[in-house]
Amino acid sequence: MYLREIMDSLNGNERRRAKVRVVIGTSIGLLIGAGVGIMLAPKSGRALRQDMVNGASWGVDKARETAHKAANFVKHEAASVNDAVAEKMDDINTSISLVEDASKASQAEAKKKAQE
How many C-beta neighbours within 10 Å does residue 75 have?
Answer: 10
Per-residue pLDDT at 1 exceeds 60: no
> What would the mean pLDDT of 93-110 be, rounded to a whole number?
89
User: What's the pLDDT score for residue 3?
Assistant: 67
Amino acid in position 33: G
What's the chain's average pLDDT?
A: 84
Least confident stretch, 64-68, 92-96, 106-110: 106-110
Domain residue limits at 87: 2-115
Give 89-111 as a DSSP string.
Answer: HHHHHHHHHHHHHHHHHHHHHHH
Structural domain total, the chain: 1
pTM passes above 0.85: no
Of 79, 5, 62, 75, the closest CA to residue 28 belongs to: 62
Reported as a single tens digit per residue, the pLDDT across 22-44 is 889 998 998 898 888 777 777 77
Alpha-carbon span 32 to 42, nearest angstrom? 18
Sign of CA pseudo-dihedral 79, 81, 85, 87: positive
